[in-house]
Amino acid sequence: MKPITVLLADDNQVVREEFRKLLELEDDLEVVGEAINGLQALDLAQNLRPALVLMDVTMPGILNGLQATRQILKVAPATKVLMLSAYNDEVYVEEAINSGAMGYLVKQTSADNVCLAIREIHEGNTFFSPSIPRHLRKRNGKKKMA
């Protein structure tokens, strides 16, 4: 079985390293690149065509995670985006959904939920941290919740 390819996009090196370590433990997940800002994430997504981008909401530079998500979905429409944030604020969640993200996880989520979310989104489902208000989770197609 071909692994689900993942691009990590987060300006925090420690966060990227931890997610890489976590995903490398899974036989069906493969990290194909890392980006430190939205512009780099856009470039790598266009060139690598990962199945999924694990995208931080707030990143420095020209494109934040929300803006980068919109651009990635234009240049690589088959790529799915799972938004990752330290915030579960409704405004961020709503903007992520409106940007085209298929899921939203707070960074404090369990390791199991990250892998599960990637697999669910790859299958075409949405996935949200349990702390995300139910009315926001109901806005997109098939739902899954941690």
**CA angle centred on 10, ends 146 and 69, rounded to 5°:** 75
Instruction: Check residue 137 and give its pLDDT.
Output: 54
Closest among 136, 20, 121, 25 to 88, alpha carbons compared: 136
In the chain, the N- to C-terminal Cα span, in Å, equals 25
Dihedral, 79, 104, 58, 29 alpha carbons, nearest 10: -50
Model confidence at 136, in pLDDT bands (50, 70, 90)?
Answer: low
CA distance 93 to 27: 30
pLDDT in tens, 70-124: 999 999 999 999 999 888 788 888 999 999 999 999 887 777 789 999 999 999 9
Q: Is the pLDDT of residue 142 over 60?
A: no
CA distance 61 to 39: 8
Give the chain's domains with CATH numbers: 4-137 (3.40.50.2300)
80 DSSP β-pair partners: 52
Token pair listed for 45: 């997504």
CA distance 135 to 117: 19
Dihedral, 40, 46, 51, 54 alpha carbons, nearest 10: 20
Count the alpha carbons within 13 Å of 133 in the hemisphere toward its beta carbon: 11
SS3 13: helix
